[in-house]
Copies of this chain bind each other. A is one copy, B any other.
């Protein structure tokens, strides 16, 4: 086998993540590696913690990036808080709620599901009934922003209900962090994990997490050791704790990826998180106006739509995979396919982080209009880019 260097093709990433990455972040990523115990690196780690406090809107001491993707961030929340014999209520309205159920069960605990249709948010009445019918559940887990459907659930209300019933709250904020408000302290979320490759526009591979003091107490009071050595927060905190002198080796941190996370969080701070939220909303509305012009519909009701993840219903008789392939090969634009129950039924257009820009909206709409027209699909009144522009200029 002869293998040479890999040069990625030029893409515009408008799927469910990764999103496009600013050259500042790529340059930070490519800086020379230094040791994971180097005093200068440790100073940077402290800055990353401080910047994550800002991103999560929290003062939680235990706030840090897990050295693995969002799936491991999810697992870190479950394996640290859930023990064999516990019961956990899991709200399932998409792929990632289903994955939470897997996590609970692999901890030797019982998952009590509150199921809602894909494309709808978590139903608060069903959740309340379930909590009343199952006293003593350890935690309520839910996905704030379902990447598989584009739905946002009411995190504050879910958390309040859970706390009324004495349960901890575990929240998936993989797709929401940096794109829509994630108010960990205000909402009283006990454990929250996210990803870096969505609205933070950093490379994939690490997962910011935050745990409340109540969650910390639960971890300290466990009856069993955490089943994962790698994800045991007791050990991880020994490395990420703020006392430099006593910092102890746990695993080798992903040094360069942390450079990149640092830079992406500095950019978030420079923009201002409220401005980032507004930007995501404005570009979503522009995309929506363009989709309207093309006669294309979002599957999620307006009140629960995620601006950063737009699940578009594929028109009848359209070869959805062909459209995606043509966007990729002819324009270099990546959009996402449907997952699970929505496979073949939706396109997922991501407007996340650096991919939430007028340029992305305009090119994606124009390319989609051109491809659909060429395929003989009726595309409403047309003029998608112009329709989007009206929103952008408003």
Chain A residues at the B interface, C-beta cutoff of 8 Å: 1, 3-11, 13, 15, 17-18, 20-21, 24, 26-36, 38-41, 44, 47, 50-51, 54, 67-72, 74-75, 79, 99, 102-103, 105-107, 195, 197, 203-206, 225-230, 249-257, 259, 262-263, 265-266, 269, 328, 334, 339
Contacts and interface: CB of A to CB of B under 8 A. Distances in A.
Scoring A21, A105, A229, A263 by chain B CB atoms within 10 A of each residue's CB, the highest score goes to A229
A192 B50 CA distance: 37
Scoring A32, A107, A206, A250 by chain B CB atoms within 10 A of each residue's CB, the highest score goes to A32
A6 B263 contact: yes
Contact of A18 (B17, B33, B265): B33
Nearest to A250: B71
A359 to B, nearest CB: 15
A334 B35 contact: yes
Given A35-B11, A197-B252, A229-B102, A4 B266 contact: yes
Contacts of A269: 3
27 contacts: A1-B50, A3-B50, A3-B266, A6-B28, A7-B31, A9-B38, A11-B34, A18-B36, A20-B32, A26-B31, A26-B32, A29-B30, A36-B204, A38-B334, A68-B68, A68-B72, A69-B230, A69-B253, A71-B230, A72-B72, A72-B230, A72-B251, A106-B225, A106-B226, A106-B229, A205-B255, A205-B257
A290 to B, nearest CB: 22
Contacts of A47: 1, 3, 6
Given A70-B252, A205-B257, A13 B33 contact: yes
